[in-house]
Amino acid sequence: MKKLISLIAIVFTAMFSTAFAADKVTIQLKWVTQAQFAGYYVAKDKGFYDAEGLDVTIKPGGPDIAPAQVLAGGGADVMVDWMPSALAAREKGLPLVNIAQPFKSSGMMLTCRKDMGVNSTDDLKGKTLGVWFYGNEYPFLSWMSRLGLATDGSSDGVTVLKQGWGVEPLTEGQAACVSTMSYNEYWVVRDAGYSPEQLTVFKYQAEGASTLEDGLYVLEKNLSDSSFKDKMVRFVRASMKGWKYAEANPKEAASIILDNDDAGVQTEKHQVRMMGEIAKLTAGSNGALDPADYERTVKVLMSGASDPVITKQPSGAWTHDITNAALN
């Protein structure tokens, strides 16, 4: 009898555990573990995902990882990406959809050395410029096209140096300018000994070339699955709690990032500073995409004259369905 009771207890325990098992969600980040993605790590660390019944796996990115490929291959449910690359991929046949936009502003910059003759955009002609690829090149190409500068190395344009993920091309004199983010590589340049007075910085936001960064994207076909949409509603709600907590508690958020830095390459000084800069970019967003920001991004991407990033107005590239349910 005792054995029967024990067996029944085991069966009911298994049924209960199965019925209330957390739903698994995997997010693919655009880059390595750092404060750029603090909201997700904070949401996991503080139990915000647990409270929504989610078991979230966070996959860091890297120099050889293309988030869209990971998503398309089924390696993630949702990814962090910049809108230029997402819209370009959509036009080429990969139907990505923006379901939330935690970042309101762009941190993209071109950082140049004044001693290499760059003081204004008029000085860019004939210079070698470091540019990130893997989708990061799209805002740059659109901006150069609007400036009337070819990117083929001709005398009337600029020479594009495919930049790695460091700033050595600038510090070693291989390029007059390199791509930087306001929260990351710019400070690496500063830490290398360059003062603000020695640098010319072009902020994409100020140059009218800014586009939306670090949005959340899923495959369009998955949005027809009600259970998937429900998971994304809970995921976005918990993630935005994480982001707002990180904004309000930058030092704690940086500490959480360091705890999750399996590579052990981040420092407290850099992550605290980064979180402070990131908070400036997420401020003003509750997670819902602002249609005006979307239209501005599309306009920038289509303004490339003979070499636009996208060639036609996108359709169905974003939805408020998830954020409407998550945030209201």
Q: What is the pLDDT of residues 249-302, one digit of tens each?
A: 999 999 999 999 988 888 999 999 999 999 999 999 999 999 999 999 998 888
Q: What Cα–Cα distance (Å) separates residue 208 from each residue in 4, 296, 320?
A: 73, 9, 26
Sign (positive/negative) of CA torsion 250, 323, 219, 294?
negative
Look at the pTM and tell me if it is higher than 0.75: yes
Output the pLDDT for position 199.
98
How far apart are the two ends of the chain, measured CA to CA in Å? 53
- Block residue for tokens 């067996």: 7
Q: What is the pLDDT of residues 55-92, one digit of tens each?
A: 999 999 998 899 999 999 999 999 999 999 999 999 99
Q: Please identify, in words, the CATH class of the domain defined by 22-104+212-327.
A: alpha beta
Output the pLDDT for position 307.
65
Q: Give the chain's mean pLDDT.
A: 92
Output the pLDDT for position 301.
87
Q: What is the pLDDT of residues 153-189, one digit of tens each?
A: 998 899 999 999 899 999 999 999 999 999 999 999 9
Amino acid at 263: A
Distance CA 300, CA 306 (A): 13
Domain with CATH 3.40.190.10 in the chain: 22-104+212-327, 108-203
Output the pLDDT for position 146.
86
Residue 165's CB is within 10 A of a number of other CB atoms, namely 13
Tell me, what DSSP letter sits at residue 318? B
User: Length of the chain in residues, anyone?
Assistant: 328
The closest of 283, 285, 293 to 318, measured between CA atoms, is 293
Which CATH number among 2.60.40.10, 3.20.20.210, 3.30.70.20, 3.40.190.10 corresponds to the domain 108-203? 3.40.190.10
